[in-house]
Chains A and B, each alone.
Chain A
Amino acid sequence: MIINNIQIDDTFAEAFNMRATRVILTAQNLKWAYHAANAMTGFATSVIGCGVEAGIEGELGETETPDGRPGVSVLLFAMGSKVLMQQLETRMGQCVLTCPTAAAFAGINSEDQINLGKNLRFFGDGFQTSKLITDKRYWRVPVMDGEFLCEETTGMVRAIGGGNFLILATSQSLALAAAEVAIEAMKKIPNVIMPFPGGVVRSGSKVGSKYKTMFASTNDAFCPTLKGVTDSELSAEIESVMEIVIDGLCFDDIANAMRVGITAICQLGESSGVKRISAGNYGGKLGPHHFKLQEIMQAGNA
């Protein structure tokens, strides 16, 4: 498939089942809501080393937040419920409880509930107070700037992580420029995050390594400097590859985000330096969810 002189490979992205939650962070203004959200989603690029993949889903206006203040919604994804609960509590305690004027609220409904402020309340040392307002329990924890307000629990849902596509371009700067265009378009899509720095990852990995202690290692087939020494996927003119990884609440959310991102790149045309769009997979043996690039793009044209 070729769109606007950019080739869409006949391949697929392979993704995994995850558990996810959404938290709404509000503050006196957007600046401080972002401080809380940036801290909470810091060091959360990949479950391989961070335990959780997290990112800012979007901004919320004053009419969209529970307490009528500006806020942002944050999505967190983990491989299991236990680690998600651990990571959420840790990040809430160190990043949101500590952030001036910040408050936290549940952002998703589910039968499965996980602790948001349930244990953070003990920071109040007995001075904490709960309020049950329209069947939701909130905790008010006295802190030095006033009160930290936090809903007791938030919902946990089944989700998908690891949707991705690769941008193959004639130079590093052109590959990154195209990736930035894609990320700007994808940021507008709800229910997804792109957890890597700036939404882009340059160190895509393959499963396994020549070293016994390593579970994953560099994706040598897409490393441009190894074209001559490995079973490369890259043609002569490709000098740089960028990957965009997407976690989403369901298959369609990820497929939609991939379509929007790839479309944004294709609209740049041949002059963008992008030659191909490909995707990372493990032969279809590891992840149950396969995002076939050409099917996704055809669905967008239908």
Chain B
Amino acid sequence: MSTLTLRLKKELTHSLNCAALTPENLAGKSIPDIASLMLSDGRNQLRVDAVFEISGAPITDALHTIHFKDSSRKLDYLGAHINSGSLEISGDVGAYLGFNLNGGTIHCHGNTAAFAACNMAKGLLIIDGNTGEFLGGASAGQRKGMHGGTVLVKGNAGDRAGDQMRRGLMLIEGNAGDYCGSRMIAGTIGVMGNVGMYAGFNMKHGTLLLLKKPALHATMQDCGMHTLPFLSLLYQSFSKLDSQFSGLHTQRVQRWVGDAACNGNGEILLISA
């Protein structure tokens, strides 16, 4: 299947809302139709062809791939509301990558700003570089963040990764910032690198799977060393991913439960070396 390619052709001064540029929205549209679509930078309406050089074949169905080239941190809401299809992104992107993602695949080969995978429900989001704060968090006014799907970050994640996460799988191969898994409702977050202060702050349920011992706050309760059979199932689900997480095998972990400050029953599992 041929790919529609959108190459950013100029340096942007303002953030541009790119939510309209999804396989579903562009399916059935000719290249001139796509070129005439309007994108908002908050102040102005810009034609797509004023920002992007368009090449490749028009999108025939919603399962199509769109390739963004030379993208920048000024491109917000890339891949928002996608139900199917895929996005390949060469370069960095702005905030809200994969906002409300509900299926399909997004692969960002660069770094992202904050709120990637915000409100995500299904699908797969891969970030090869680093990502900003509130990965998989909830948008303003929402009480639940990511509630399904898989996020794989090969670099580092900022503060509050998985804030108010309700369900799904978030894997961070690098470091995570402070308050990782804060206010977590359920789901699984794996971090291979270091995590910052207050991991699992106010978590209710869910699992933080760590490879390096965190500096925990007093309301995470140490429950000792254990061998947990469910980890074999979890590791099997990792094996489908091109990730260092697929190399995990040991079911031997140290378990902390909390956050007792909110009567939580979440857990931090430190994989035994």
Inter-chain contact B232/A126, CB cutoff 8 Å: no
How many residues of A sit at the interface, in one of the four size bands? 10 to 19
Complex interface residues of chain B between 116 and 159 (CB less than 8 A to chain A): none
Closest Cβ neighbor of B233 among chain A residues: A133
* Given A67-B232, A67-B233, A138-B233: A131 touches B207 (CB 8 Å cut-off): yes
Chain A residues with CB below 8 A from B188, complex form: 131
Q: Please tell me which stretch of B4-12, B50-58, B69-77, B222-230 contacts chain A, meaning at least 4 of its Cβ atoms lie within 8 angstroms of it.
A: B222-230
Task: Return B246 CB to nearest CB of chain A, in Å.
Answer: 14
The distance in angstroms between the C-alpha atoms of A130 and B230, with both chains bound, is 10
Chain B residues with CB below 8 A from A132, complex form: 167
* Interface: A149 (CB within 8 A): yes
* Interface: A298 (CB within 8 A): no
Inter-chain contact A68/B232, CB cutoff 8 Å: yes
Complex interface residues of chain A between 121 and 173 (CB less than 8 A to chain B): 126-127, 129-134, 138, 140, 146-147, 149
Task: Return A154 CB to nearest CB of chain B, in Å.
Answer: 15
* Interface: B92 (CB within 8 A): no
Task: Return A41 CB to nearest CB of chain B, in Å.
Answer: 22
* Interface: A103 (CB within 8 A): yes
Closest Cβ neighbor of B148 among chain A residues: A132
The distance in angstroms between the C-alpha atoms of A69 and B229, with both chains bound, is 9
Write the A95-136 contact mask toward B (1 if CB under 8 angstroms, else 0).
000000001000000000000000000000011011111100
The distance in angstroms between the C-alpha atoms of A127 and B233, with both chains bound, is 20
The distance in angstroms between the C-alpha atoms of A292 and B229, with both chains bound, is 47
Task: Return A117 CB to nearest CB of chain B, in Å.
Answer: 12
* Interface: B67 (CB within 8 A): no
Task: Return B181 CB to nearest CB of chain A, in Å.
Answer: 14
Inter-chain contact B230/A147, CB cutoff 8 Å: yes
* Interface: B30 (CB within 8 A): no
Complex interface residues of chain A between 44 and 90 (CB less than 8 A to chain B): 66-69
Total chain B interface residues with beta-carbon distance under 8 A:
17
Inter-chain contact B226/A133, CB cutoff 8 Å: no
Chain B residues with CB below 8 A from A127, complex form: 265
Inter-chain contact B265/A138, CB cutoff 8 Å: no
* Interface: B237 (CB within 8 A): yes
Inter-chain contact A129/B265, CB cutoff 8 Å: yes
Inter-chain contact B234/A131, CB cutoff 8 Å: yes
The distance in angstroms between the C-alpha atoms of A147 and B257, with both chains bound, is 14
The distance in angstroms between the C-alpha atoms of A129 and B229, with both chains bound, is 13
The distance in angstroms between the C-alpha atoms of A129 and B231, with both chains bound, is 13
* Given A146-B226, A146-B228, A147-B228: A130 touches B233 (CB 8 Å cut-off): no
Partner of A126, one of B207, B230, B265, B267: B265
Partner of A130, one of B186, B232, B236: B186
Inter-chain contact A140/B230, CB cutoff 8 Å: yes
The distance in angstroms between the C-alpha atoms of A146 and B225, with both chains bound, is 11
Task: Return B227 CB to nearest CB of chain A, in Å.
Answer: 7
Task: Return A71 CB to nearest CB of chain B, in Å.
Answer: 12
Chain A residues with CB below 8 A from B227, complex form: 146
The distance in angstroms between the C-alpha atoms of A122 and B186, with both chains bound, is 18
Inter-chain contact A149/B229, CB cutoff 8 Å: yes
Inter-chain contact B237/A134, CB cutoff 8 Å: yes
Chain B residues with CB below 8 A from A67, complex form: 229-230, 232-233
* Given A67-B229, A147-B228: A133 touches B234 (CB 8 Å cut-off): yes
Closest Cβ neighbor of A147 among chain B residues: B228
Inter-chain contact B228/A131, CB cutoff 8 Å: no
Chain A residues with CB below 8 A from B237, complex form: 133-134
Task: Return A196 CB to nearest CB of chain B, in Å.
Answer: 33
The distance in angstroms between the C-alpha atoms of A134 and B241, with both chains bound, is 12
Task: Return B151 CB to nearest CB of chain A, in Å.
Answer: 15
Closest Cβ neighbor of A103 among chain B residues: B229
* Given A126-B265, A146-B226: A131 touches B205 (CB 8 Å cut-off): no
Binding site for A on B (CB under 8 A): 167, 186, 188, 205, 207, 226-230, 232-234, 236-237, 265, 267
A-B contact pairs, 13 of them (CB 8 A): A66-B236, A69-B229, A103-B229, A127-B265, A129-B265, A129-B267, A131-B188, A134-B236, A140-B230, A146-B227, A146-B228, A149-B229, A149-B230
User: With contacts A131-B233, A134-B236, A134-B237 known, what are 13 further pairs, Cβ within 8 A?
Assistant: A66-B233, A129-B265, A130-B186, A131-B234, A132-B167, A133-B230, A133-B234, A133-B236, A138-B230, A146-B229, A147-B230, A149-B230, A149-B233
